[in-house]
Amino acid sequence: MRTVYRLVLNAVIVAALMASSAAPASVPTLAACLEASDFIVNAALSRDNGMTRQAFIDRLNGDFVAIRAFPSELRWFVRDEDDERFLENAAEHVFDAPSAPAVHRREFLQACFERLGI
């Protein structure tokens, strides 16, 4: 868990230094990465409580359809198709390679931080 906190602290420092630079739509913010990591933890908890991969992914794709009704700038993590694929792939990984929720969070944060350039 210390590694996650260290990664988050490093990300906050880098994000603060880069605050003045604009990011393309498919590059998430630090806050979005952290919030999406909560989503990935919840995916793992759903899996552990018996939800099937197909049911979870179907619901996620249904959410994507609903989210597309809002302008990109008003959306949370999934602002475009790249974001949708990134989050869906991470959710699929939760079901395809089961690990503890904290492990999935760490893996997701590493991948998300890479999208940030951290």
Q: Which of 63, 74, 81, 76 is nearest to 36 (CA)?
A: 76
- At 107 the three-state DSSP class reads helix
User: Which pLDDT band, with edges at 50, 70 and 90, does 110 fall under?
Assistant: very high
Supply the pLDDT for residue 114: 93
Let me know the angle formed at the C-alpha of 97 by 12 and 64, rounded to the nearest 5 degrees: 65
Evaluate if residue 20 carries a pLDDT over 70.
no
Which pLDDT tens digit goes with each residue over 28-80?
789 999 999 999 999 999 999 999 999 999 999 999 999 999 998 888 789 89
User: Which pLDDT band, with edges at 50, 70 and 90, does 26 fall under?
Assistant: low
Q: What is the largest CA-CA distance in the chain?
A: 44
Which pLDDT tens digit goes with each residue over 90-101?
999 999 999 999
What would the two tokens of residue 58 be?
């179907």
Residue 20: half-sphere exposure toward Cβ, Cα within 13 Å: 1
